[in-house]
Amino acid sequence: MPPHAKKIIAALASLRSDWEGEASLPFEISFDVESAAQIDDIVRSEPNLKPTLEFYQGRMYNTCDIHGSKVRWPAAGNGLPFAQWLYKTPITEFDVPKRDESEPFMASSSCCAADFFHPRFKELSALLGFAPIYHRKYWEWVFILHKAMSLGACGNGKRALGYGVGTEPLPAALAKAGSFVLATDAPVEIGVSKGWLAGGQYSSGVDNLHYQGIIELDEFRQKVDFAEADMNAVSTGFNDFDFVWSSCCLEHLGSLKHGLDFIENTVEKNLKVGGVACHTTEFNVSSDHDTVEAGATVLYRRRDLMAFAERLRSRGHSVEPIVFAPESHVLDQYVDVPPFSSHGHLKLLLEGYASTSIGIVVRRGK
């Protein structure tokens, strides 16, 4: 019996009292087994677990119809004790099925639990100065750093440009890797009006971006500059960069079109030929038809992204295939609902749609 399965069953046993009166439960469990026969083997080898397994059998599936799409989801308003237990447990302490380092890393474009189990995630997390936890924002930072490194877009003498950097650790990590970085955030009046300044998500200068655990201050100041930049008015004055990125910013530019125009402009105005753009944004998991098309936060559908990729290819650029991750782990199937958990999540409910993070990677062709 896999050691992590014992931990899962032990947690389920402690939660039984919460679900005694329920006919169905708003989650499903993965024991990393391949057949019902293996479950029988578990019961034979661990007879004390049989009551718990029998209790949960047949109660593990509860779906909610969200805009025509079946999404597994937690008890509304109360969260999900089991998923919360998983999210609170640091990856380094939870005995999960580890992936071999020879397996492809971040083979999908959208956030998924499998990436967190790969040894490379832990390595890149250390370069970014944080312990790996199940949180889609951390996934985005690792995704961006991974693409910069694996595609040869950062390192000694390379130039990187970041938009909407807030207080993220990417400028420090890229500088430590040898790049010269221009970090930008919105003009201060926009930062104030959007509430980013009050919420600690806005940067007004280079020293707001320094992380002592990543890079020494003197080296940081030598390699990182700061400027204000309006993402709806990308400047040709920022040009000849090897790498440009943004982490979940472009969905706040007012509409689906504004966000996609921003990506195109960064490719064609900011990058040198052969340079790489990497942007993450909100992906609507619930629907490929209905979505939030305009407003403070928009949600991109599969069809929006696929059509945009073809648009960029028609303009002579190379776009990495957009691969949508399968829901292969219980953490992929948990949709956090307001008030959102402080422990992390891979998906959350936004404007009635289940949403996660997705990355778009483009190499300028001409």
User: Do the domain assignments include residue 67?
Assistant: no
* Structure-model confidence comparison of residues 185 and 1, the more confident one: 185
Question: In the structure, what pLDDT confidence band is assigned to residue 186 with cuts at 50, 70 and 90?
Answer: confident
Considering its fold, how many domains does the chain have in total?
Answer: 2
What average pLDDT does the segment 135-157 reach? 96
pLDDT of residue 18: 60
Q: How far is it, in rounded angstroms, from Cα 365 to Cα 274?
A: 6
Clarify whether residues 325 and 247 are in a common domain: yes
Q: Would you state the structure tokens that stand for residue 284, as one six-digit string?
A: 């609507």
Clarify whether residues 138 and 242 are in a common domain: yes
Rounded to 10 deg, the angle between the 81-88 and 3-19 helix axes is: 140
User: Do the domain assignments include residue 72?
Assistant: no
**Bridge partners (DSSP) listed for residue 164:** none
* Structure-model confidence comparison of residues 282 and 1, the more confident one: 282
pLDDT of residue 102: 84
Clarify whether residues 206 and 281 are in a common domain: yes
User: Do the domain assignments include residue 76?
Assistant: no
What average pLDDT does the segment 232-253 reach? 96
* Structure-model confidence comparison of residues 58 and 38, the more confident one: 38
pLDDT of residue 81: 47
Which residue segment(s) compose the domain that 139 sits in? 88-363
User: Could you give the residue ranges of the DSSP H alpha helices within the chain?
Assistant: 3-19, 36-45, 50-56, 81-88, 113-116, 119-128, 136-150, 170-176, 188-193, 217-223, 256-265, 302-314
User: Do the domain assignments include residue 324?
Assistant: yes
What average pLDDT does the segment 158-177 reach? 96
Q: Is the peptide bond before 47 cis (omega within 30 degrees of 0)?
A: no
What average pLDDT does the segment 208-224 reach? 93
Clarify whether residues 50 and 109 are in a common domain: no
pLDDT of residue 312: 98
User: Do the domain assignments include residue 309?
Assistant: yes
What average pLDDT does the segment 274-286 reach? 96
Q: How far is it, in rounded angstroms, from Cα 323 to Cα 306?
A: 10
Listing DSSP states for 38-87 in one string gives HHHHHHHH-GGGHHHHHHHTT-S--EEEETTEEEE--BTTTB-HHHHHHH
Asked if pLDDT for residue 241 goes beyond 90, the answer is yes
Clarify whether residues 14 and 148 are in a common domain: no
Q: How far is it, in rounded angstroms, from Cα 40 to Cα 24?
A: 22
Kindly give, in sequence order, each residue whose CB lies less than 8 Å from that of residue 239, ignoring residues fewer than 6 positions away: 269, 270, 272
Strands, E assignment, 164-270: 180-185, 224-228, 241-247
pTM for this entry? 0.78
- CATH number reported for the structural domain that contains residue 162 in this entry: 3.40.50.150
CA angle 190, 194, 200 (to 5 degrees): 100
What average pLDDT does the segment 184-197 reach? 63
Q: How far is it, in rounded angstroms, from Cα 183 to Cα 164?
A: 8
| Residue the block writes with tokens 């009635």 | 352
Asked if pLDDT for residue 303 goes beyond 80, the answer is yes
Q: How far is it, in rounded angstroms, from Cα 358 to Cα 256?
A: 14
Question: In the structure, what pLDDT confidence band is assigned to residue 336 with cuts at 50, 70 and 90?
Answer: confident
State which amino acid sits at residue 187. P
| Residue the block writes with tokens 């948990």 | 334
Clarify whether residues 172 and 242 are in a common domain: yes
Clarify whether residues 7 and 156 are in a common domain: no
Clarify whether residues 92 and 31 are in a common domain: no
Nearest Cα neighbor of 277 from 293, 252, 260, 256 is 260
* Structure-model confidence comparison of residues 77 and 136, the more confident one: 136
Residue 79 · residue 341 · CB < 8 Å = yes
- 11, 44, 61 — which closes off a domain? 61
User: Do the domain assignments include residue 68?
Assistant: no
Clarify whether residues 56 and 165 are in a common domain: no
pLDDT of residue 8: 57
pLDDT of residue 47: 67
Residue 231 · residue 164 · CB < 8 Å = yes
Clarify whether residues 311 and 202 are in a common domain: yes
Clarify whether residues 260 and 353 are in a common domain: yes
What average pLDDT does the segment 101-124 reach? 91
Residue 248 · residue 292 · CB < 8 Å = no
User: Do the domain assignments include residue 106?
Assistant: yes
Q: Would you state the structure tokens that stand for residue 54, as one six-digit string?
A: 């029998």
Asked if pLDDT for residue 328 goes beyond 60, the answer is yes
User: Do the domain assignments include residue 71?
Assistant: no
What average pLDDT does the segment 56-75 reach? 40
Clarify whether residues 178 and 287 are in a common domain: yes
Asked if pLDDT for residue 191 goes beyond 90, the answer is no
Residue 189 DSSP SS3: helix
- The mean of the pLDDT values for the chain is 80
What average pLDDT does the segment 156-172 reach? 95
What average pLDDT does the segment 158-162 reach? 98
Rounded to 10 deg, the angle between the 119-128 and 136-150 helix axes is: 90
Q: How far is it, in rounded angstroms, from Cα 302 to Cα 322?
A: 9
